[in-house]
Amino acid sequence: CTDTIFGALSKATVAMTDALAKVPDVEIDPEGTFKYILVRVKVKDGDVHKDIVRGTKSAEYHNHIFDKVSPALEALGMECKCLGGGKIEHNSQEKKLRVFGESTGFGKADHSVSAEKLKSAYSDYDISWSDDKK
């Protein structure tokens, strides 16, 4: 009987890990300067997690991005925690991304982590980051 419980449990964990793997690392606007957040997404009741970058011009405040991202991922059985924020300057013409600034509400994200995530999605881009405010 115990094997059945653990078997079902591990199948659920594998399914959740697969669901987590399907969550895109990066979703940002295709152009402009906008707010972004770095979010840790974790499988509920599990140790498996990954960090994702989300950014959009439509967000007046950083928490607007989190308020949109979090419920969608929680519906998939994930837990979300905002690790901080800043701004991204996206120049698609020159293939450049610049990560900088901070979030008043969430604090400064680790821009080096965000830049690495961006590199995985925009491998042909010149990506830079700094702790400068502007």
Q: Name the residues annotated as catalytic.
A: 62
DSSP character string of 16-32:
HHHHHHHS-SEEE-SSE
Q: Which residue has the tokens 């972004």?
A: 36
Q: How many CB atoms lie within 10 A of CB 19?
A: 15
- Is 57 assigned a ligand-binding role in the annotation? no
Residue type (1 letter), 46 = G
Q: How many CB atoms lie within 10 A of CB 27?
A: 15
Longest CA–CA span in the chain (Å) reads 60
Per the document, the length of the chain is 134
**Positions at the binding site:** 35
Annotated binding-site members for substrate: 35
